[in-house]
Amino acid sequence: MLRTSLPFARLPSLVTRAAFKFKTGSTSFTESHSIAARVAPLTATARFARAGASVRSFSARATTRNFASAALATEEPDMVCGSSVAAKHPVLDRMWQHIATGEENAFYVVDTAAIEERYALWMRHLPYVRPYYAVKCNPDPQILQTLARLGTGFDCASQAEIRDVLAAGVDPRSIIYANPCKQPSHVAFAATAGVNVMTFDGCDELTKMKKLHPEARTVLRLFVDDSHSQCPLGTKFGAVLNDVPAILRHAKAIGSNVVGVSFHVGSGCFNVSAYSDAVARARKAFDIGASLGFNFELLDIGGGFPGDETAPIAFEDIGAELNKSLSEHFPLSSGVQIISEPGRFFAAASHTLAVNVIARKLAPNSLAVSPTPSSPLKAVQGKRALHGGADPYYMYFVNDGLYGSFNCLLYDHAVVHPMALAPQDADAAYSSSIWGPTCDGLDCIAKDIKMPVMDIGDWMYFANMGAYTSAAGSHFNGFVPPQKIYFDSAADEAN
């Protein structure tokens, strides 16, 4: 029987799947669905909930309710949290099954059920905001197909991303080309593909779009406060409010069809007030547009939503803040369509990365006693080190690193948490560092952490690795990206 190092019991079954259908026009949509809520963990980080289900239905075009009352009033499931970074038991089962085939290379276990669970969470807390998945976060075809089946839209930043989404069977009317600075040929491609909604933040971009895509339905990207985010975007994108009148006058002069406003508080936002402040700025831009004869009908509130419960702020808190702010500035009675661009929110928890320990050594001057072939490092644990240190310091080399999945440490300011898949002694932890496989001395994943002692050939894993990881990996030094093993934990539980 395959082993697992985690002692917790089998997860409760996932009760039923949610069924969602959307009817899409250009940017407007209606949605009708009933949700039999999943009660399994909402992420791949060991949230365990009791079995149960809540059902509700709604119409996103209803005008008798406000955003603040839109979130489900049903009781939240009790959560029993284990390690904040431990993977779900079914994920570890799949990991062991794949290792048992003789696998040595790093690989991902991708649980598509986690994506559906995140979608159900979104609909509980922001039911009147249609998510447009940020493809840049992770363009994995399985993610795209899963979200397309659920009925999300898609936020694309390039011709290639548009092609990928169209290949998943998505209606081009459910795509927003949300890159404010686009290559001309990509704009022309969007026109031929029927992707009509696209963003801009300046007069020159608007003129270019008008020439290459005369029928485009354009959306003005605003500058907002993104100082409370992992990855601020405002230094590169967004029109300040003082410039909005001049930009819209130019739009009027060239006959551009400006249909709304967008903003982005930055990727990985950790301050809920950033959202309400941005919504208030968007309201001012709407009012400026109205004074110039525009009738805006679309608000894109961007991304920045957390991908798991280890984030500094909870998605539930963001949802409550947004519902309150949207009720005040863009009530349902206004008829304004609200969309968003979540990326990590959907992708992060779906991927768990397994890496193999390909080499190990003691840090210089770590031990006074050297290991022997018949008595490896574990035999000298606890021996007094040089310079009076009591414990050894281990350096582990694994077969993925900064040039692969862990580029997120550089580009996304991520923090990762290694877990030994099957530690020999889970109670004993020693100072350690983890290094990638390349010849670059900067290829370090973690320093000065505590890990149980591991042998060459042992495995460790990292949960919540679906966002801004594989999407930006390279083949540096000839190391190939990890393969992906897909499964649906909900279907497995049902069987």
Q: CA triplet 405, 411, 415: central angle to 5 degrees?
A: 70
Maximum C-alpha span of the chain: 83
**CB contact at 8 A, 245 and 286:** no
Cα torsion for 314, 448, 230, 342, to the nearest 10°? -50
Asked about 203 being catalytic, the answer comes back as no
Q: Nearest CA to 436 among 402, 459, 393?
A: 402
Output phi, psi for 218, to 5 deg: -95, 150
Cβ burial, residue 442 (10 Å; 0-12/13-18/19+): exposed
Tally of CB atoms within 10 A around 174 = 23
Q: Nearest CA to 66 among 331, 287, 264, 279?
A: 331
One of 81, 156, 439, 444 is an active-site residue; which one? 439
DSSP state for residue 95 in the 8-state scheme: H
Residue by residue, DSSP assigns 223-238 as P---TTEEE--TTTS-
Cβ burial, residue 325 (10 Å; 0-12/13-18/19+): buried
Report the catalytic residues: 439
